[in-house]
Amino acid sequence: MPRPPRTPPLPVTAKPINRRTILKAGGTLLLSVLSPLPAAAAQILAVRVWPAADYTRVTLENDSNLKATHFIVPDPERLVVDIEGLDLNPTLKSLVAKIESEDPYIRQVRVGQNRPNVVRLVFDLKEQVKPQVFTLEPVGAYKHRLIFDLYPVAPVDPIAQMIEKGEWMRDDLAPAGRPELAGPAPDPLAKQKSEMPAMAVVTPEVVAPVKPVQPKVEKPQVVRMVTVALDPGHGGEDPGAIGAAGTREKDIVLAIAKRLKFKIEEQPNMRVMLTRDGDYFVPLGTRVEKARKVQADLFVSIHADAFMKPSARGSSVFVLSEKGATSSAARWLANKENLADSIGGINMKTHDRQLASVLLDLSTTAQINDSMKLAKAVLSEIGGFARLHKASVEQAGFAVLKAPDIPSILIETAFISNPEEEAKLRDNGYQDQIASAIMKGIKNYFAKNPPMAKSRIT
């Protein structure tokens, strides 16, 4: 049987597989594994809005640092913010519902995906603002934060605020050396002159000259309005200490300050300025600056701090120290309170570091001595009904006490970290007792140290 024809072999086109080819293929596979994947969009964890007359703050808390650009669009006024590396999520959308109708600066906000990985926020404004947009690194319980601070073009003046509320008279604004701007000064002899009988006109030949009787004039006493600056600690982004039951220090101290304000305003010739009258953050230096602008006679900062051990209890009163703290606890509390700017969040690019250094350098022995007198008077009254953490006034380097020309004290009303004292701080009756004690201490201080006439601060 004949054999079938042999099929010719197919032509070989592939190169022979060798060691170099295998290594090259492995390297390609390794590169594909190690190549960076597209970056995941940042996640917005929380949005918060803090409206106030001073300024409105909007905070976006997120899991990574965000880059934002912004610009103003006029007629009507709008602030436009583009945030890179971000996709729209339900948390960010919830910002729309957080804008309150009584917000002094923001009418509404619109949120949308402007382009891939870029979210645009459009703030419709009620008036012109000077925006500050900045980021904050993680601190305390917070992750990364992107902050929008909307300030009015004309900064709010604390005296103008008090005039608007009827707490300050325009006559008080007369500059030193120009009393005529405050209206005519009263004539101390007016009463005596009006009561003197009219003299008949007679000739010298009829009666002998009569030597006029000089009326006795008493030295007029200085009567002026006394201004007390009350400083409720923390606020806004900075909750202060938080008790086991969830009580926030910022809420308690604001409630006590408002009670004390009412009691002071019941006194003749006394008025009050609050460094904050709502839930918003005020930098430490700004608190001091506000007190100086209204020519405050006293500065009283109110707190309810926490300590490392929940067993710590009792009230304390502090004044500034130039030579270090009087105890390790005082030093620890001062360091903790001085972190308020970091937690509350200040824009370091615009923060007036020079002001802080001036306040530090100008702190005087006289101010500390006067502060000590006030602190002793207040501590004595608080000790009449409450347990004291220490029976004497303590000293430490609290930044908020560094007004060079105002007696200043800081009161730790109780330890919010102590469950029993936290319960007391939540009680309206106890808050009223604390406010009454501080009021009595202030009155006792002025009884022994009457306010002097003072020139207007320039």
| Calpha distance 426→111 (Å, rounded) | 39
Give the tens place of pLDDT for each residue, 303-347.
998 888 888 899 999 999 877 788 888 888 888 888 898 999 988
The total of structural domains in the chain comes to: 2
CATH code of the domain in which 280 resides: 3.40.630.40
> What's the confidence (pLDDT) of residue 305?
87
| Calpha distance 103→148 (Å, rounded) | 14
Identify the three-state secondary structure at position 316: strand
| Calpha distance 38→46 (Å, rounded) | 24
| 335 within a domain of the structure (yes/no) | yes
Q: Are residues 142 and 261 in the same domain?
A: no
> What's the confidence (pLDDT) of residue 169?
75
| 297 within a domain of the structure (yes/no) | yes
Q: Are residues 147 and 230 in the same domain?
A: no
Give the tens place of pLDDT for each residue, 130-163.
999 999 999 999 999 999 999 999 888 888 788 8
Share of the chain above pLDDT 90, in %: 59
Give the tens place of pLDDT for each residue, 381-439.
999 999 999 899 999 999 999 888 899 999 999 999 999 999 999 999 999 999 999 99
Residue 3: pLDDT band by 50, 70, 90 thresholds?
A: low
> What's the confidence (pLDDT) of residue 195?
45
CB 410 within 8 A of CB 401: yes
Q: Are residues 147 and 231 in the same domain?
A: no
Instruction: Report which of residues 229 and 165 the model is more confident about.
Output: 229
Of the three residues 152, 171, 195, the one that is the final residue of a domain is 152
Of the three residues 152, 177, 206, the one that is the final residue of a domain is 152
Alpha-helical runs (H) found in 245-401: 249-265, 284-293, 328-337, 340-344, 353-362, 365-382
If you average pLDDT over each of 188-197, 372-381, 396-405, which comes out highest?
A: 372-381
Give the tens place of pLDDT for each residue, 95-110.
999 999 999 999 999 9
> What's the confidence (pLDDT) of residue 171?
63
Question: Which domain range does residue 346 map to?
Answer: 226-448
Report how far Cα 149 is from the mean position of its chain's Cα atoms: 13
In this predicted structure, the answer to whether residue 197 has a pLDDT above a threshold of 70 is: no
> What's the confidence (pLDDT) of residue 21?
52
User: Which token pair is 9?
Assistant: 């072999």
> What's the confidence (pLDDT) of residue 385?
92
> What's the confidence (pLDDT) of residue 145?
96
CA quadruple 298, 299, 302, 303: dihedral positive or negative? Answer: negative
CATH code of the domain in which 72 resides: 2.60.40.3500
DSSP class of 417: T
First to last CA, the chain: 127
Of the three residues 100, 129, 152, the one that is the final residue of a domain is 152
Beta bridge partners of 274: 230
Q: Are residues 136 and 278 in the same domain?
A: no
> What's the confidence (pLDDT) of residue 156?
81
Q: Are residues 329 and 417 in the same domain?
A: yes
Residue 349: pLDDT band by 50, 70, 90 thresholds?
A: confident
